Structure 1
Amino acid sequence: MRRVDRTGPASRRSPLYPSRSPHPPPSQPPHHPKCLMGAAGVRRADKGKMLLKVKIANVQKFVRVPEPNLTAFLDAAFTKFGVPAVTEGVRVLDSSGTELDEDVFEDVVKDPQTGVLTITYDTGNVESFSSPGPCASSPSSGDSQDTIILPVSPASKRQRLDDEAKHLVKDILSKKPGGERVIMEYNRTKSLADDTRKKMVNILAADMTEKNGTSPPRRVKEKYARGIVSLFPHLWDPFSENGHEHYYDGKSDSGYLAWRLKYIQRCNAQERKSIEASSTEGMSGDELLGGPTARRESQYLPEPPMSEEECREAMSLMKHSSDENTLSSNILSHFPRFKDVKGLIEQDFVLMFGEDVSGKFLEKWPTMFKEKIIKQCRKLPSTTELNDLLLAADPQEDDADGADFGWDSDFASILLLLHLVPPTAQGRKKPGKMSASQAEKHLVVFKKSGTSIEEHLDTITSSTQPYLLAVGTQRNRISQYFIILDKTAIPCMSNSSLSSFDELFKAHFVFGTSYHTMLYNMYTFIQTTIYNIDVGKVRERPRIAEIRARLLH
């Protein structure tokens, strides 16, 4: 925006001009001695003044210009329209959209072919002005003192809020220790490493509490979150409503900023309790306890299959079953063909969502996600398990023989996603925090060729969520995949690892069973980001939205 300095009062003026036609008689008294910007041709009025057409928002008027001067023109135009004087962000455009500067203004307005001159500016603090009535855009309409609301488009308002939030975050990071490194890393990589993201969140949360206390209003937290994705657009999540919900979601009070603020609040509360405890030694422990502290983890339960002639009985059973643990086993006992007829899971999933949705994983994973996931995982802290998966997913030429007996490239890339969106800590619940390598055992189990499938099923002592049983000579040479569900082995259609995982994911929907807790984040990412199923209807951890933003930009 170009700042235009003008003389004259900055307060609102009341343009109480008498009604007149576009060509007033010479006897009419002159108007405010300021200059006005015009369009649609230049007309000479009495006493050497020019008559120009000016447009602000959707209202257009004739304006008298005593002399071709940009500063005077703006003062006169704002006076004519009843708009308070604006000193910043003002732009004057001709009919072609070209901006006019002071040095060319006189030459342009003297050209009869100039056209309508449009004035634009930040409307954040200016909401109304005098209007000539319903025929404002007509050159022959007379002046009136009716007041209308200056239309501010949602896009303009959003842009203004984005700019304010962007400058706020940029100013904080530029002044706080470590903030410049955040900006430099993003400018270099168009992304933020996990440690850098944590540093940025800590800086912004500290600034927020310094200015607003430990419980900032929702609008403040939303402004900081908006500022992050405005300053760093590649962190914007295209699948969420505003793009910044993984930093702060006002509806659920969650996100990285919200979590950091809650941590600060807990630390302050513990400090207060410690101080109170030192002065209340005679009180019992129960009297110092607060309310309940247990936290619940909500899980998404997929919808049962769509009704179809051959599946109506299964649908009825799924609808009336109240125990999810016995639901899938009941289905398999009533419809044993799932155990020996390949392709029924795929068939039922297509009935639920259609062929386009059904084919998205096999279409998108190799072309859009696999290489990006490998690239992102190279930035994670190094571990033996992670390095083995990276080597398997992207083998070098001298390792082409697979001497490490790792998984094949496709399946290794799926397991890398598990490291990228790892299991969420369960707090006080068992089993507590679990690593991605531990969670892998709930996704796939490898057995050597020749192993009895029945013996493996007999070792299962409790009901489990669906997982893959891979049978082969080694992990990257699998001859058969099975989906294990409630001590039942369902053969997969293909011996391809990618197709078998695709079928495993779909089995959750076909049999109406929830995701395993340790695999919830990974499955939810695949469900919403790749299959685009129930976007916005399931609860996503901020980590899911953060990784999605990295991969889709």
Structure 2
Amino acid sequence: MDDFVKRTLEAWGLGELIPTFEAQKIDKEAFYLLNSNCLSSVIPFVGQRVKFENKLKELLEDIRNILEKSPDGRSIVFNLDNNSLIGLNERRSMVRILVSHLIERFGENPSSRLKAALAVAVVDQFPSLKDTQGTGYDAWYTPGRHHRPATGFLEERLRNVRKRLRRGSRTSQEVSVPTTIVVSVLPEDTVTPEDAVQMSMWLKTNLWPQSQVADFMKKTAGYRARWIRANGSKAIADIISEFPRLVDTPGMISQDFELLHPDASRKMDNWCSGFAEKIIQMAQQQQRNPSLEYLPADKRGDVALQLLPMVIPPYPYKEGRKMVRPSIQECKSAFIDTQPVGTNMAEYLTNTRMEHPFVLMLGHGHDCSQAFSIINGQALTHSTLLDAVDMCFKAYYVFDLKYPNACAQVYEFLQTVYEIPGAVRPTVQVLRAQFSAAV
């Protein structure tokens, strides 16, 4: 028995049949071929058999057939079959088509098992949409539990349709909540607590010799990580005041990050080869912009980073009682703020209002002349835009900061690039699935 059979039976509420199906060696191919005679011997109890036959009948209406009944759906099937990816607009169209079909057949309140079965069928028939984490279909449908409502693209669309039918209200969108950075294991101490305190005091007043600074910073990483996380989050200015070498000594943020996440520290090295081309391809689909095809090879990695806010648009979020809907331009500036070459850096740093770490790019259009990571009003120089983004991402983990609301979805996606576990939004889950399918 394969995973498809097990997941489908569980989604239908017939998990008790799993041992029987496993004993009978019923895999995916056999599952679809089951007829009444087979079911009579495999499922002797009438109640279970009737439920199974009804669910199987519903499932056998191929997702492909549903989509191919409309021009938009045929385009979606073509892109998934040939490119293993769909853009944001195509994903929304796909959800609309599937939910319309669901409502037409089962009304506006289909059961959770029906929604789960549809989600299972989607990722089974289009493996590039199956996430590598969780059930694989959480982005499409996750049932409610522990007094929390159901989530996922299908559920959100159904909820919006019901609202419009009853009150004529506007379609709601995914709402962002601040993403908490989670560090599973803090670095072990290599020195005594007393020595760690003494070394940290020495580091506050000494910049040289650099080899000793780097050595003391490494030895006090565990002490520093616990200090930062003790008694709740701390302001980044307070952390830098206590540990100034983090920002004024090159490589210290990266060193602390590597000790926190040793397996993730070099993951961004794969950006150009593993992610950039697909990001550009998605942007082309959404923008219909042929100029992206002619980008020189050495610019494509930088351009892909700049396109992320368009490929994964920002989420609305609540600020007190007010709902804030950041624009794509606001998201771009919160992630990578582009300013012209010759910008007065002292004046820029004095006037900037952004408190979170971000990237400053000096250049025009997609052409980067200089790149900086801006942390607590200090500009750290980097040789490439990719290095600046890498530094900013790592700063959120070293300083234990939440991703900024305006560009949280971009950092959530980068979190998947670094392969760091943690909650991400359904939009990012689907993007992660498509990249995993391409590997």
Same fold, judged at TM 0.5 (above): yes
Aligned to 2:282: 376
Distance 2:160 2:94 in 1: 15
**Which residues in structure 2 correspond to 1:77-116 (within 5 Å)?**
89=33
Residue 261 of structure 2 corresponds to which residue in structure 1? 353
- The AA in structure 1 aligned to 2:167 is Q
Letter in structure 2 aligned against 1:306: P
**Match of 1:395?**
295
Q: Where do residues 227-242 of structure 1 align in structure 2 (5 Å cutoff)?
A: 227-237=121-131, 239-242=132-135
Aligned match of 2:240: 332
Provide the rounded CA distance (Å) in 1 between the counterparts of 2:363 and 2:75.
49
Question: Which residue number corresponds to residue 142 of structure 2?
Answer: 249
Taking the aligned partners of 2:231 and 2:123, their CA distance within structure 1 comes to 45
For residues 393 and 22 of structure 2, what CA distance do their matches in structure 1 show?
53
| 1:34-79 superposed Cα distances (whole Å, 9 cap, x missing partner) | xxxxxxxxxxxxxxxxxxxxxx9869xxxxxxxxxxxxxxxxxxxx
The one-letter code sitting in structure 2 at the alignment partner of 1:483 is S
Relative to structure 1, the CA distance from residue 465 to residue 379 in structure 2 (aligned partners, 3 Å threshold; closer, same or farther) is: same
3-state SS of 1:215 partner: coil
Among 393, 399, 416, the residue aligned to 1:511: 399
Matched residue type, 2:383: N
| Contact 1:373-1:551 within 8 A present in 2 as well | no
| Matching of residue 436 in structure 1 with residue 324 in structure 2 | no
Please report how far the alpha carbon of residue 265 of structure 1 lies from its aligned counterpart in structure 2 after TM superposition: 0.9
Shift of 1:448: 5.8
What is the Cα deviation at residue 170 of structure 1?
A: 4.4
Out of 377, 382, 385, the position equivalent to 1:497 is 385
- The alpha carbon displacement at 1:330 in A equals 0.8
The answer as to 2:418 corresponding to 1:531 is yes
Kindly indicate whether residue 374 of structure 2 is the aligned counterpart of residue 484 of structure 1: yes
The SS at the match of 1:378 is helix
After superposition, what is the alpha-carbon deviation per residue over 1:346-373, rounded to whole angstroms, capped at 9, x for unaligned? 100111111x3211111x2111111111
Q: Distance in 1 between matches of 2:68 and 2:337?
A: 50
Q: Is residue 166–residue 226 contact of structure 1 (8 Å, CA) maintained in 2?
A: no
Aligned-pair distance for 1:311? 3.0
Indicate which of 300, 325, 331 corresponds to 2:179: 300
* RMSD of equivalent CA atoms: 4.0
Secondary structure at the counterpart of residue 167 of structure 1: coil
Q: 2:177 touches 2:405 (CA, 8 Å); kept in 1?
A: no
Shift of 1:343: 0.1
Tell me which amino acid in the other structure corresponds to 2:220.
E
Q: Do 2:360 and 2:372's aligned partners in 1 also have CA atoms closer than 8 Å?
A: yes
Contact 2:336–2:359 (Cα < 8 Å) also in 1 = yes
1:227, CA displacement in angstroms?
Answer: 1.8
| Secondary structure, counterpart of 1:262 in structure 2 | helix
Question: What is the alpha-carbon distance in structure 2 between the residues aligned to residue 183 and residue 472 of structure 1?
Answer: 39
Q: Report what 1:126 is aligned to.
A: 41
Which position in structure 1 is the counterpart of 2:301? 410
1:243/1:329 Cα in 2 relative to 1: closer, same or farther (>3 Å)?
same
Question: Shift of residue 446 of structure 1?
Answer: 4.3
Alignment gaps of 5+ in structure 2 = 1-20, 25-29, 45-51, 190-218
Output the CA distance in 1 between the equivalents of 2:390 and 2:372. 12
Name the residue aligned to 1:542.
426
Q: TM (normalized to structure 2)? A: 0.70
The Cα of 1:464 is off from its aligned counterpart by: 1.4
Decide which structure has the larger Cα Rg and report it. Answer: 1
Deviations 1:373-429 (A, max 9, x none): 1112110134xxx777x37xx5259xx9xxxxxxx4422211112211111133787
In the TM superposition, residue 454 of structure 1 has moved relative to its aligned partner by 3.4
More helix by share: 2
Q: Percent identity?
A: 23
Distance 1:410 1:177 in 2: 33
Alignment of 1:108-257 (within 5 A): 125-127=40-42, 165=59, 167-170=61-64, 172-173=66-67, 182-183=76-77, 186-187=80-81, 189-237=83-131, 239-251=132-144, 253-257=150-154
* Residue 508 to residue 162, structure 1, CA distance change in 2 (3 Å): farther
Q: Does 1:365 align with 2:266?
A: no
For residues 184 and 547 of structure 1, the distance between their equivalents in structure 2, rounded to whole angstroms, comes to 18
The offset of 1:174, in angstroms, is: 5.9
- Confirm or deny: 8 A CA contact 1:162 1:227 kept in the other structure: no
Number of the residue aligned with 1:520? 408
Q: What is the CA-CA distance between 1:455 and the residue it aligns to?
A: 2.7
Residue in 2 aligned with 1:75?
A: none
Displacement of 1:204:
2.3
Amino acid at match of 1:486: N
Q: Which TM-score applies when normalising by structure 1?
A: 0.57
**Contact 1:321–1:327 (CA<8 Å) still a contact in 2?**
no
Given that residues 314 and 406 in structure 2 are in contact (C-alpha distance below 8 angstroms), is that contact kept between their aligned partners in structure 1?
Answer: yes
Alignment partners' CA distance in 1, 2:350 and 2:55? 61
- In structure 1, give the amino acid aligned to 2:418: Y
Shift of 1:451: 5.0
User: Which amino acid in structure 2 is aligned with residue 218 of structure 1?
Assistant: S
Bigger Cα displacement from structure 2, 542-551 vs 368-377: 542-551
Tell which has more relative contact order, 1 or 2 (C-alpha 8 A, sep 6+). 2
Q: 1:396 to 1:214 in 2, by over 3 A?
A: same
- Which residue number in structure 1 is paired with residue 349 of structure 2? 457
Aligned to 2:165: 268
Instruction: Return closer, same or farther for 1:329/1:122 CA change in 2, 3 Å cut-off.
Output: farther
Q: 1:311 maps to what in 2?
A: 221
Select which of 249, 266, 269 maps to 1:341: 249
Residue in 1 that maps onto 2:9? none
8 Å CA contact 2:279–2:307 kept in 1: the answer is yes
Change (3 A) 1:466 1:176: closer
How many residue pairs get aligned? The number is: 365
Structure 2 distance, partners of 1:204, 1:474, is: 39
Q: Which residue number in structure 2 is paired with residue 132 of structure 1? A: none
Q: Secondary structure at the match of 2:316?
A: coil
Q: In the TM superposition, what is the alpha-carbon distance from 1:531 to its structure 2 partner? A: 1.1
Displacement of 1:511 in angstroms is: 0.7
Distance 2:71 2:364 in 1: 55
Alpha-carbon separation, structure 2, partners of 1:377 and 1:204: 24
